[in-house]
Amino acid sequence: MDENGLAARFEEQRPRLRAVAYRMLGSHAEADDAVQNAWLRLSGADTAEVANLAGWLTTVVARECLNMLRARRNRREEPLPEGPAEVTAELSAEGHDAGDPEAEALLADSIGPALMVVLDGLAPAERLAFVLHDVFAVPFGEIANILGRSPAATRQLASRARRRVVGAIPPRQVDIARQRRVVDAFLAALRHGDFDGLLAVLDPDVLLSEGDAEPVRGARAVGAHALTFSRAARFVRPALVDGAVGLAIVPRGRLIGALAFTFDHDKIAGIEAIDDPGRLRHVDLAALRS
């Protein structure tokens, strides 16, 4: 592959790599350095035999971050995180340890600075194992190769880190994180026109209210109605609406509407479309920025 083609494929991966690096390092500047170093490695490497470029780059960035974390610890420098994550990772959530839904909920991007403060207290190997597995669903076998440890030892590192995270995040942020996971799944399904994906997150008796229009009830009816707005979903992003995770409609960055959700057992039980300017003034666009 020529350099231009390689550069184009790298740019496709950059947001995800930056997401990995930021959550590993808690610093946007250091994350950019790690990603840039990965590009330098890639541009000088023979990638003809690389079957999974995304996985190869993730490994390179993870090792860069691990070295930076170890150097930081050796210098006894533990900088505070710069602020909420400004990047997001659109990776599968599969592969998490079963039986620990609270831990999974804590990993949503909406936790932001609170999670980063906890991560700063972890040993470098614990942080890498936890972030790669629980946030980015990298298998323990691959993480073990990065750390030079066995998969069993790597699993223990992630488990130890997870216990510390679960004990450190306030309950309300757990609730917000759980809601964010459900809303993200709803939005992803909407953007991809995935009817089954919508049904997976809608309560069977979900109720949709849109001003003076007749309410729509039932997962299949609400899902079908939602799909009529699939194209416009590119203008929608998560926000806090009435104190819970909802969706803001922001074409060209201007807030024109919102969807407020109610939740029941990790399902969307109610959806309210909001266009009243008075209520829209209380929509918090910054709280879940990612």
For the chain, residues with pLDDT lower than 70 are: 1-3, 47-50, 74-116, 166-174, 287, 289-290
Model confidence, pTM: 0.48
Domain boundary among 145, 169, 193: 169
Q: Which amino acid is at 147?
A: L
Assess whether 136 and 196 both reside in one domain.
Answer: no
Would you say residue 244 lies in a domain? Answer: yes
Would you say residue 287 lies in a domain? Answer: no
Residue 252 and residue 273: Cα distance in Å, rounded?
19
| pLDDT tens track for 17-56 | 888 888 888 888 888 999 998 888 887 777 666 678 888 8
Tally of structural domains, the chain: 2
Would you say residue 203 lies in a domain? Answer: yes
Assess whether 262 and 138 both reside in one domain.
Answer: no
The pLDDT value given to residue 221:
96
Structural domain including 146 reads 3-169
Would you say residue 29 lies in a domain? Answer: yes
Would you say residue 221 lies in a domain? Answer: yes
Would you say residue 288 lies in a domain? Answer: no
- Reading across the β-sheet that carries 267-274, which strands appear in turn? 216-217, 202-210, 267-274, 257-264, 244-249, 236-241
Domain boundary among 115, 150, 169: 169
Assess whether 118 and 246 both reside in one domain.
Answer: no
Assess whether 164 and 23 both reside in one domain.
Answer: yes
Burial status of residue 222 (CB atoms within 10 A of its CB: 0-12, 13-18, 19 or more)? buried
Burial status of residue 6 (CB atoms within 10 A of its CB: 0-12, 13-18, 19 or more)? middle
CATH of the domain at 275: 3.10.450.50
Assess whether 14 and 134 both reside in one domain.
Answer: yes
Assess whether 164 and 250 both reside in one domain.
Answer: no
Assess whether 185 and 148 both reside in one domain.
Answer: no
Residue 15 and residue 89: Cα distance in Å, rounded?
7
Assess whether 201 and 134 both reside in one domain.
Answer: no
Assess whether 246 and 163 both reside in one domain.
Answer: no
For residue 183 the two structure tokens come to 């809303």
Name, in order, each residue with C-beta under 8 angstroms of 189's C-beta and a sequence gap of 6 or more.
Answer: 195, 196, 197, 198, 200, 201
The pLDDT value given to residue 3:
65
Domain boundary among 138, 169, 200: 169
CATH of the domain at 100: 1.20.140
Q: Measuring CA to CA, how many Å separate 133 from each of 24, 97, 148?
A: 12, 9, 16
Would you say residue 87 lies in a domain? Answer: yes
